[in-house]
A and B are shown apart, each in its own frame.
Chain A
Amino acid sequence: MITFTNSGLYCAAGDFYIDPWKPVTRAVITHAHSDHARLGSRYYLCENATVPLLQLRLGQDINVQGIAYNEAIYFNGVKVTLHPAGHIIGSAQIRLEKDGEVWVVSGDYKLENDGLSSPFEPVKCHTFITESTFGLPIYRWAPQEEIFSGIGQWVDDNRQSGKASVLLAYSLGKAQRVMQHLQHKTEKFLVHGAIANTHEALVHNGWKLPPIEHITPDTPKSAFPNSIIIAPPSADVSWMKKFSPYALGICSGWMTVRGNMRRQNADAGFALSDHADWPGLLSAVKATGAEKVYVTHGFSSVFARYLHEQGIAAEEVVTAYGEEENGNIVNN
């Protein structure tokens, strides 16, 4: 039903691509992160909540159609439905059905309910295409309550020593999640422009999010002491200078491994991820009941081999996904 081409995952029967990395005619998009939603395609189809995010990131003039979760749309006899992936707001697994055969493309997903995105739902299928960003058994997330209480404690400690708390989190997804769970710690969050833009697009479309203030060159220095500042991982250290004294914390699954945390020159790392951890990946795969699994971006060869040894026919597939997260983590 799906073939792996140079442009992306292609459904020949329905003549459309899923998350193509080259411009195509019809692109079905799992979620609005830049490695999955790329510029240049003629028509886009995605979950309703993803529409304004795509417009924000790819331009208001793109040709995009939104549908709801579980709402069916047909492409030349291929039934396409979207199902919550729990990764970020609007993120969807894409289910394809034709002549009784069912494929599901996971996009990125996590199993824990983050309180914002529609929680992950397992979808039965014959063939499952899964991500494997954290496909090693060393990655096992603590419950988010525990992580957020750790972050809260860290914010308190910083305030005690008169410091602002700067948290690095992806502007779409992680940033909103962090603010949602830390809203009791502050009246308003001070945020980087990338996060302010995303925030506006979401609020404009009816999402209720904690109050923010966009940090501009005019923001007075008096605003920073004791504040919680949210910035994307790409934010520059020189941009942060004016917050001094501050402590820098990174929210990312990569923070599990000490060396990864150390080379970021951050003061703290919190292993908070919007991807499935190792047990999450395994239980998601099992819940689909799939006979065949294709493993995309991440520790794909490792995860595919492990599934294979568990008696699930699995194969690694090379895609252009995962660049954003990996790129960010090593570059800043």
Chain B
Amino acid sequence: MTLTDYLYYVILPLLAFSVLLIVYRFIKGPSIADKIIALDVLITTGIGIIGVYSIIHGRSTFLDTAMILALIAFLSTVAFSYYLEKRNRKK
């Protein structure tokens, strides 16, 4: 079993399964903060999937996308928490 087969048949299904679990929490989440956390972890898991994918295909250009995704995850969490606090104040 080569490294590519191992990554393709063991690692990627495990990551996809964890994405399914996170999406379940994203849909179910009782408060809106849970949904924001699930979104953050979803993007973080996406960075991991992009890393594994770039190892499988041998192309390092996918890592630029991972960098942008890390930026977007941080920005979206900060903006969501800011407006969550602000919305509560106005009420």
B and A form one assembly: no
Q: Which residues of A contact B (CB under 8 A)?
A: none
